[in-house]
Amino acid sequence: MPVLVMKFGGTSVATLDRIRRAAKRVGVEVAKGYDVIVIVSAMSGKTNELVGWVNETSPLFDAREYDAVVSSGENVTAGLMALTLQEMDVPARSWQGWQVPLKTSSVHSSARIEEIPTDNINAKFGEGMRVAVVAGFQGISPEGRITTLGRGGSDTTAVAFAAAFQAERCDIYTDVDGVYTTDPRVSSKARKLDKIAFEEMLELASLGAKVLQTRSVELAMRYKVRLRVLSSFEEQSDEAGTLVCDEEDIMESNVVAGVAFSRDEAKMTLVSVADRPGIAATIFTALSEAGVNVDMIVQNISEEGRTDMTFSCPTDQVARAEKAMDAAKGEGIINFHELIADTDVAKISVVGIGMRSHTGVAAKMFQCLSAEGINIKVITTSEIKISVLIDRKYMELAVQALHDAFELDKAA
């Protein structure tokens, strides 16, 4: 029988009633003839509670013990989901990560999935079991210890199972009903997309659209897993939600798929850096070694052997960046006048695979912002994305103006 993977996030299994509701959705797919693999998160709030206890007990915790503690929430929902399905006369059983076994690397608290043997679960499907409920987010290391995949890891678990079992589709049930052209809280004209390409979803996910974990989208793209995002709180048809798929599967699409934004970016400027060959490499190696995730980089024109270097990084890494630069200056590796941190900025991005074949997207974006009197501080581009840093106070205005300019409220 064809296999379907269905993943339910924390809000979708937050109470026994919601677990029942989710189980009913599973029952619908079973009735259609699917063998179903259900991936569950912990009840919403549970993992945060466990993480809080670990942090309070041991601020610099042993990640192996962290994993042993925080993985327990998923075990509870997996068992309860299996029991709920059994009550509905759907043959089901639960699996914890180590029982599958979902084999991972030994990098505790952010382990990578290495292998998912299918024989165990397939044998049970062969015996008439219709639903395998698997605790998401967790696996087992080569040393036989419990690992976790990092926050949001249940999405990744679901996609990995879909790839391993060659599932027809991987449905991600969540508390939103799909992927939107932008955040509906910022623009009332935001429109739900029926389909979006993996590459676009990846850019949106990494830009902070919290619908799917970036790693899960990467994995789906690599293994060509058809991924659907839909709401567990509404009655669903086969066409509900948003399908994340290969761009070949999208017949018509707008040049720009969506407008993303982030408030959590800071603009950092190293003023008057002594310019010499290799100075950029030196600076960004030092930042990387300090664990600073640099996003945008701009180097101004050099004057008299000195230059200004501007980069952006997450706001909560500003202190770390400052410490790393001061240390490098102290050691004489880098010479600069001062480091200015500007946390009062926002990043606005337009994303769309159509940019590959359409010119003028950047020009249109800059004109639109200029017409609203919004000054652009930094620009970066990729093949399918253009991002700018602007004053934070203009963020909502910029999003709304760009949404209008690219006519995202209208389907292609």
Q: Is 211 annotated as a binding residue?
A: yes
Least gap, CB of 94 to a copy of itself (angstroms): 5
Taking the complex as a whole, the smallest distance from the CB of residue 30 to a copy of itself amounts, in Å, to 17
- Residue 16 sits in the site that holds a copy of itself (CB under 8 A): yes
Tokens of 198: 């993996």
With CB under 8 A as the contact rule, the residue among 8, 66, 125, 406 that binds a copy of itself is: 66
- 20 among annotated binding-site residues: no
Q: In terms of CB distance, is 91 or 208 closer to a copy of itself?
A: 91
102 versus 244: smaller Cβ distance to a copy of itself? 102
DSSP-assigned beta bridge partners for residue 94: 133
- Return the closest-CA partner of residue 171 out of 29, 27, 18: 29
Residue 242 among known ligand-binding residues: no
Residue 189 binding a copy of itself, by CB under 8 A: no
Nearer to a copy of itself, 136 or 258 (CB): 136
Phi, psi of 218 (to 5 degrees): -55, -50
Q: Is 307 annotated among the ligand-binding residues? A: no
Neighbouring C-beta atoms of residue 200, cutoff 10 Å: 27
Closest CB 71 distance from a copy of itself, rounded Å: 8
Rounded to the nearest angstrom, the gap between the alpha carbon of residue 273 and the centroid of all alpha carbons in its chain is 35
Q: How would you classify the pairing of strands 113-115 and 3-8?
A: unpaired
68 versus 298: smaller Cβ distance to a copy of itself: 68
- CA 39 → CA 135, 170, 235, 281, distances in Å? 6, 10, 20, 43
The answer to whether the beta carbons of residues 256 and 354 sit under 8 Å apart is: yes
Determine if residue 13 is labeled as part of a ligand binding site.
no
Q: Quick one: tokens of 382?
A: 């990729």
Kindly state whether residue 75 participates in binding a copy of itself, applying the rule CB under 8 A: yes
Q: What gap in Å lies between CA 164 and CA 182, rounded to an integer? A: 32
Name the one range near a copy of itself by CB under 8 A: 62-70, 191-199, 208-216, 380-388.
62-70
62 counts as binding a copy of itself under rule CB under 8 A: yes
Between 75 and 282, whose beta carbon lies closer to a copy of itself? 75
394 annotated to bind ligand: no
Among positions 22, 37, 41, 98, the unique one binding a copy of itself when judged by CB under 8 A: 98
Report how far residue 215's alpha carbon sits from residue 160's, in angstroms, rounded to the nearest whole number. Answer: 10
Greatest alpha-carbon pair distance for the chain in Å reads 79
Which range binds a copy of itself by CB under 8 A, 24-32, 77-85, 235-243, 351-359? Answer: 77-85
User: 5 with 34: CB under 8 angstroms?
Assistant: no
Angle between helices 63-70 and 46-57 (to 10 degrees): 150
234 is a contact residue toward a copy of itself (CB under 8 A): no
Among 2, 31, 58, 382, binds a copy of itself (CB under 8 A): 58
Q: Which of 3, 4, 19, 296 binds a copy of itself (CB under 8 A)?
A: 19
Rounded distance, CA 339 to CA 342, Å? 10
The DSSP symbol for 180 reads B
H or E segment at 93? strand 92-95
Q: Cβ(245)–Cβ(171) under 8 Å?
A: no
Contact residues for 311 (Cβ-Cβ < 8 A; gap 6+): 267, 268, 284, 287, 294, 295, 296, 297, 298
Q: How far is the CB of 98 from a copy of itself (least distance, A)?
A: 7
- Separation CA 210–CA 204 (nearest Å): 9
Q: How many CA atoms lie within 13 A of 26 on its CB side?
A: 33
The window from 92-100, 222-230, 248-256, 320-328 that contacts a copy of itself (CB under 8 A) reads 92-100
Going residue by residue from 125 to 154, which x/- string records binding to a copy of itself, judged by CB under 8 A? -------------------xxx--------
Residue closer to a copy of itself by CB (options 89, 239) is 89
In the bound state with a copy of itself, the residue whose beta carbon lies nearer, of 41 and 84, is 84
Q: Is 9 annotated as a binding residue?
A: yes
Please count the residues of this chain forming the interface with a copy of itself, following the rule CB under 8 A: 36
User: Residue 64 class from Cβ within 10 Å (0-12 exposed, 13-18 middle, 19+ buried)?
Assistant: middle
Is 69 a binding residue for a copy of itself by CB under 8 A? The answer is yes
Q: Does 96 bind a copy of itself (CB under 8 A)?
A: yes
Query: Is 77 in contact with 135 (CB distance < 8 Å)?
Result: yes
The binding site for a copy of itself (CB under 8 A) comprises: 16, 19, 50, 53-54, 56-58, 61-62, 64-66, 68-69, 71-73, 75-76, 78-80, 82-84, 86-87, 93-94, 96, 98-99, 144-146
- Which amino acids are annotated as binding site for ATP, given as ranges? 7-10, 174-175, 180, 185, 210-211
